[in-house]
């Protein structure tokens, strides 16, 4: 039985860990060749090794998605390594929370850079290939759908206290998604977004200690959620629990398969029923 994504090439930013890793593994398991990205080479290479061990194809593009030249480099590597682009998943990101009166310009601009400007640059870099390829296919009487999935958050859909920077950036993703769906529909490119609710990752799990943090380009970013707050949040979810990274990847996968070829410009909330 042929896999649903056999012969496709997928770019997945932030795919060395967590949700991004599961997205990459899921797409690869269904036949896609995957370009893996992470800030650090270790996690990216591990994901690539796992894809290859399962019989798939993968290459690695290490670096910050916020770097001005990253979009061109990411797209260029996909074309050099695999010769095509069929799926783009803009997943990379992190949170840097504070209430507005304590939030610095750096915090605000960092969230816009990684969650909104980076996807814009990646998609702009891919536009030449996507448009020219589609024009040739349409002239030949072919309809070949390509897929863009931009990762958002329920913070961007409903807002969340302490996250005006992150919420604004993720709300912007909805606008980018809907506008680009209109621009690229003529090229048979479906552009959709998945807004995640509470998903268990290293950024949201109860921290081992109060000073738990990650390093993002020299910035020490606090991670983790207070256990009481985590329990309270889970209690508001109709399904009664946080989601897993694999479940989050499943929602992205829905927008990548042929069954969603007539769905575009949509924001799907993957949050266990929680508004």
Those residues whose C-beta lies under 8 Å from the C-beta of residue 205, and which sit 6 or more positions away, are 224, 225, 230
pLDDT at 28 over 70: yes
* pLDDT beyond 90 at 228: no
Per-residue pLDDT of 140-177, as tens digits, reads 999 999 999 999 999 999 999 999 999 999 999 999 99
pLDDT 10s digits, 175-216? 999 999 999 999 999 999 999 999 999 767 655 555 555 667
Return the pLDDT at 92: 98
What's the mean per-residue pLDDT of the chain? 94
| Residue 217 confidence class, pLDDT cut points 50, 70, 90 | confident
Question: What was the pLDDT predicted at 58?
Answer: 98
Specify the CATH architecture of the domain 9-199+244-270: 3-Layer(aba) Sandwich (3.40)
Nearest to 195 by CA among 140, 135, 266, 128: 266
**What percentage of the chain exceeds 90 in pLDDT?**
87
The whole-number average pLDDT for the span 256-265 is 98
pLDDT at 216: 79
What average pLDDT score do residues 228-241 get?
89
At 79-93, the pLDDT tens digits run 999 999 999 999 999
Digit-coded pLDDT (tens) for 109-120? 999 999 999 999
Task: Please state the pTM of the whole predicted model.
Answer: 0.93
Picking from 89, 79, 172, the residue whose alpha carbon sits closest to that of residue 128 is 79
Cα–Cα distance for residue pair 134/98, rounded to 1 Å: 44
Contacts of 271 (CB under 8 A, 6+ apart): 154, 195, 196, 197, 198, 237, 243
On the question of pLDDT at 233 being above 60, the answer is yes
Would you name the residues annotated as active-site residues?
166
User: Which pair of tokens denotes residue 222?
Assistant: 């606090």
**Given pLDDT bands bounded at 50, 70 and 90, which one contains residue 226?**
confident
Q: What residue spans define the domains of the chain?
A: 9-199+244-270, 200-242
Contacts of 32 (CB under 8 A, 6+ apart): 5, 8, 9, 10, 56, 86, 87, 256
Interacting residues of 212 by C-beta distance below 8 A, sequence separation 6+: 222, 223, 224
């Amino acid at each position: 039985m042929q896999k649903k994504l056999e012969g496709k090439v997928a770019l997945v930013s932030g795919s060395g860990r967590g949700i991004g890793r599961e997205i990459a593994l899921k797409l690869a398991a269904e036949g896609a060749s995957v370009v893996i990205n992470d800030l650090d080479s270790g996690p990216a290479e591990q994901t690539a090794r796992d894809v290859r061990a399962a019989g798939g194809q993968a290459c690695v593009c290490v670096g910050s998605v916020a770097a001005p030249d990253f979009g061109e480099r990411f797209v260029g590597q996909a074309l050099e390594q695999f010769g095509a682009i069929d799926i783009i998943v803009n997943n990379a990101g992190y949170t840097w929370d504070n209430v507005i009166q304590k939030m610095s310009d750096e915090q605000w601009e960092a969230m816009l850079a990684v969650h909104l400007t980076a996807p814009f640059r990646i998609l702009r870099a891919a536009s030449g290939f996507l448009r020219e390829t589609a024009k040739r296919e349409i002239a030949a009487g072919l309809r070949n759908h390509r897929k863009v999935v931009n990762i958002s958050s329920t913070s961007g859909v409903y807002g969340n206290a302490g996250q005006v920077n992150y919420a604004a950036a993720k709300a912007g993703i909805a606008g980018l998604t809907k506008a680009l769906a209109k621009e690229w529909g003529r090229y048979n490119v479906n552009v959709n977004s998945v807004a995640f609710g509470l998903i268990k990752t290293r950024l949201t799990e109860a921290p081992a200690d109060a000073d738990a943090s990650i390093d993002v380009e020299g910035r020490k970013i606090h991670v983790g959620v207070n256990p009481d707050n985590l329990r309270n949040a889970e209690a508001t979810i109709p399904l009664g629990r946080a989601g897993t990274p694999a479940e989050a990847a499943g929602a992205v996968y829905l927008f990548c398969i042929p069954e969603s070829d007539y769905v575009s410009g949509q924001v799907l909330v993957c949050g266990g029923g929680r508004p």
